[in-house]
């Protein structure tokens, strides 16, 4: 029997036939929108050391996009995949420890070419107010640079993937690393506006926020 969290996930994904929450989920989807997060930025200083401000800015842009499309009362599903280790570190980004008891744990398989990679999945029903979004997005932005905090756990072959599903708006938000995020919406006529208006115009412009 499916848990409430698993049922909610199945319900949302029924509007996205053929889509699986796995690497490359958006490939060949004309209704997905790719949004760059690091345009005009450089991860390195002149002395070739990492610039912490770069990751702060990238995380801020991602949060701006997420907040732009999410209302405070929207029901969300925070879905985290581990490959294959259990992505339990996500609990550090919960504002209330008791929220972890809402999580459901599931298993999946990622078919990567000829290789079948086990996937450990956590599903958390939540709202915007429940998650420490900026630290979470900051961790995602630095995962390819070995920065801390890290989402990746010992025993994982790859960094975990974090998907944010909006139950009300039927949207999938996926920040894959510091370079950008992908957004998939079942009413693609609305999401296509993100290519030009209004968010892209003032991303990275403090006066426009």
* Per-residue pLDDT at 28 exceeds 70: no
* Per-residue pLDDT at 196 exceeds 60: no
Tens digit of each residue's pLDDT (9 = 90 or more) over 114-168: 999 999 999 999 999 999 999 999 999 998 898 887 787 777 888 899 999 999 9
Residue 202 has a pLDDT of 40
What is the CB neighbour count within 10 angstroms for residue 62? 25
Residue 206 has a pLDDT of 43
Q: What are phi and psi of 178, to 5 degrees?
A: -70, -15
Strands, E assignment, the chain? 32-36, 76-83, 104-112, 115-126, 158-166, 171-177, 180-185
What is the CB neighbour count within 10 angstroms for residue 183? 21
Span 80-92, mean pLDDT? 83
Task: Quote the percentage of the chain above a pLDDT of 90.
Answer: 61
Tens digit of each residue's pLDDT (9 = 90 or more) over 44-64: 999 999 999 999 999 999 999
Place of tokens 């956590």: 122
Indicate the pLDDT class of residue 194, thresholds 50, 70 and 90.
Answer: low
Residue 198 has a pLDDT of 42
Compute and round to an integer the Cα radius of gyration of the chain: 17
* pTM over 0.85, yes/no: yes
Span 78-106, mean pLDDT? 89
Distance CA 178, CA 35 (A): 11
List the structure tokens of 181. 């995020």
Q: What are phi and psi of 58, to 5 degrees?
A: -60, -45
């Amino acid at each position: 029997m499916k848990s409430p969290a698993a049922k909610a996930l199945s319900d949302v994904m029924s509007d996205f036939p053929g889509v699986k929450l796995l690497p490359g989920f958006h490939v060949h989807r004309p209704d997905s929108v790719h949004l760059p997060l690091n345009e005009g930025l450089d991860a390195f200083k002149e002395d070739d050391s990492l610039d912490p401000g770069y990751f702060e800015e990238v995380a801020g842009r991602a949060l701006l996009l997420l907040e732009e499309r999410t209302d405070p009362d929207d029901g969300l599903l925070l879905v985290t995949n581990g490959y294959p280790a259990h992505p339990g570190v996500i609990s550090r980004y919960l504002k209330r420890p008791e929220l972890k008891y809402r999580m459901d744990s599931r298993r999946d398989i990622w078919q990567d070419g000829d290789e079948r990679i086990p996937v450990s999945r956590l599903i958390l029903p939540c709202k915007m107010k429940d998650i420490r979004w900026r630290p979470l997005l900051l961790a995602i932005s630095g995962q390819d640079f070995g920065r801390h905090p890290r989402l990746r756990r010992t025993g994982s072959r790859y960094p975990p993937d974090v998907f944010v599903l909006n139950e009300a708006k039927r949207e999938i938000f996926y920040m894959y690393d510091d370079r950008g995020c992908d957004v998939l919406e079942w009413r693609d006529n609305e999401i296509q506006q993100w290519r030009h208006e209004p968010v892209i115009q003032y991303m990275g412009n403090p006066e426009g926020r």
